[in-house]
């Protein structure tokens, strides 16, 4: 078993965007830490694999319909966890726009494309915080945002994705101060990990993936469950009780000066 067994035993966590990729890996890592894991997804039928991974790791999966751009859905997901399990200890906001892996033609695109990114990564970051606040205050819990190295260095290909991921870093730094008196910790993780888009690239453009891997001192892209999951679990656990307002870059050493 990988991860941090027992670290989140009996704790209740909501992970958004948990149907695949980093979200699924992080959810499974919370499972291996003993958590009750709310698997927030737009389409519940797409969450079966994640639920199986959480259960196999030793956690308790709860599939929740949670399109984070829909205020009622995200509120209901949180309320359901609290109703059924009596508490909420952490929210991990990992969901991104379905267009996040697309290139953005900044000079010619419109605000509609910006809205696709901002609604999921900026507005939902704020809204989930507001909705979870009373419960996180009670549990003295944690809010974790899955950001990106692109949100620190800026991406030529993905200027909107970069910008909204940067938004989360600014949000974390300010909210950590605002919620510090409530003992709610607010952090972010900037992972470099295998994603569905990269899996696809491995098939279509294997040389490109090799080039990317060549830039990583540890020689490979991160595994969502075993590389990105444990640091994420740690940041939401009591072991990180004195860590707030931080962005932890988990990139195998690819980004060392951000």
> Applying CB under 8 A, which residues contact other proteins?
71, 106-107, 109-111, 114, 118, 122-123, 125-127, 129-130, 133, 151-156, 158-160, 162-178, 180, 245
- The contacts of residue 206 (CB under 8 Å, 6+ apart) are none
Rounded to a whole number of angstroms, the minimum distance from the CB of residue 155 to other proteins is 6
DSSP assignment of 63-82 equals EEE--TT-HHHHHHHHHHHH
Is 161 known to be catalytic?
Answer: yes
- Bridge partners of 40? 16, 64
**Residue 30 or residue 179: which is nearer to other proteins going by CB?**
179
**Residue 2 or residue 155: which is nearer to other proteins going by CB?**
155
**Residue 177 or residue 220: which is nearer to other proteins going by CB?**
177
**Residue 171 or residue 234: which is nearer to other proteins going by CB?**
171
Rounded to a whole number of angstroms, the minimum distance from the CB of residue 159 to other proteins is 4
Report d(CA 128, CA 184) in Å as an integer: 14
Task: List the alpha helices (DSSP H) in the chain.
Answer: 21-32, 48-57, 71-85, 111-118, 124-139, 150-153, 159-179, 196-204, 206-214, 229-236
**Residue 109 or residue 200: which is nearer to other proteins going by CB?**
109
Q: Which of 12, 184, 9 is nearest to 81 (CA)?
A: 12
Exactly one of 133, 135, 143, 161 is catalytic; which is it?
Answer: 161
Rounded to a whole number of angstroms, the minimum distance from the CB of residue 5 to other proteins is 33
Dihedral of CA atoms 11, 16, 20, 22 in degrees, nearest 10, equals -70
Rounded to a whole number of angstroms, the minimum distance from the CB of residue 127 to other proteins is 7
- The contacts of residue 97 (CB under 8 Å, 6+ apart) are 116, 117, 119, 120, 121, 161, 164
Rounded to a whole number of angstroms, the minimum distance from the CB of residue 56 to other proteins is 37
Positions annotated as catalytic residues are 161
């Amino acid at each position: 078993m990988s991860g941090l067994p027992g670290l989140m035993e009996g704790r209740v966590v909501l992970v958004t965007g948990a149907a695949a990729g980093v979200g699924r890996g992080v959810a499974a890592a919370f499972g291996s830490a003993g958590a009750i894991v709310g698997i927030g997804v737009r389409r519940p039928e797409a969450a079966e694999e994640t639920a199986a991974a959480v259960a196999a790791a030793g956690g308790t999966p709860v599939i929740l319909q949670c399109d984070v751009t829909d205020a009622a859905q995200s509120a209901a997901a949180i309320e359901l966890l609290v109703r059924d399990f009596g508490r909420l200890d952490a929210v991990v906001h990992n969901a991104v726009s379905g267009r996040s892996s697309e290139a953005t033609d900044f000079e010619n695109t419109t605000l509609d494309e910006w809205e696709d990114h901002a609604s999921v990564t900026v507005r939902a970051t704020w809204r989930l915080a507001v909705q979870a606040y009373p419960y996180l205050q009670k549990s003295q819990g944690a809010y974790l945002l899955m950001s990106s190295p692109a949100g620190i260095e800026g991406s030529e290909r993905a200027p909107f994705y970069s910008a909204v991921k940067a938004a989360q870093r600014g949000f974390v730094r300010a909210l950590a101060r605002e919620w510090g008196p409530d003992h709610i910790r607010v952090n972010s993780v900037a992972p470099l990990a295998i994603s569905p888009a990269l899996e696809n690239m491995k098939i279509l453009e294997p040389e490109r993936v090799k080039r990317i891997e060549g830039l990583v001192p540890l020689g490979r892209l991160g595994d969502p469950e075993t590389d990105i999951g444990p640091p994420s679990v740690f940041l939401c656990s009591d072991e990180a009780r004195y860590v707030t307002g931080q962005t932890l870059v988990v990139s195998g050493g690819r980004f060392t000066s951000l």
